[in-house]
Amino acid sequence: VVSFEKVFCDNKVAKAMELPVEEEVFKIVRLRLADQEPMLFETSYVPVKDFKNLSSQELQHTPMYEIFRSQYNVKISSALESFMAVSANKVEAEMLNIIEGAPCLMLKRVTYAQNKVIEYTISIARGDKFTYTVELK
């Protein structure tokens, strides 16, 4: 966990989360590793009203969806994810240990519990290390 704070959602986050502008959300910035190597730089938003006691300390040791399920009885029902090619900006490059402008994959995910949005996440994945696989049935 790089940072964890309460913020008021702006127009973009409010729209993605189907919340009123200025609704309070947790903004969680994380660096995801694989074999101690940075793979994803991720910013997640979750509604404070639904996860009042969520803390940075918990997220250091327990996956977020496990916390949702075990402490808040919230079960993920679906997610909508989109992805596109981008170039790493300065902050993303520093966090991912790559050069600025390096090719990356931006993933945007909206996660639902029933018909309610419980998470909006924007991830930047290293283009040189990350493979995204989708199985269609």
How many CA atoms within 13 Å lie on the side-chain side of 120? 18
Closest by CA position to 48, among listed 72, 77, 78: 72
Return the residue matching tokens 């949005």: 117
40: phi then psi, degrees, rounded to nearest 5:
-135, 135
In whole angstroms, give the CA distance from residue 123 to residue 66.
19
For residue range 51-104, list pLDDT tens digits in order: 999 999 999 999 999 999 999 999 999 999 999 999 999 999 999 999 999 999
Mean pLDDT for the chain overall: 95
Q: Beta strand 103-113 with 78-87: parallel, antiparallel or unpaired? A: antiparallel
Closest by CA position to 22, among listed 34, 10, 31, 33: 10
Beta-ladder partners of 31: 41
How many CA atoms within 13 Å lie on the side-chain side of 61? 3
Q: Check whether 45 has a pLDDT greater than 90.
A: yes
Query: Which residue type occupies 68?
Result: F
Tokens standing for residue 17: 């989360």
Rounded mean pLDDT of 31-44? 95
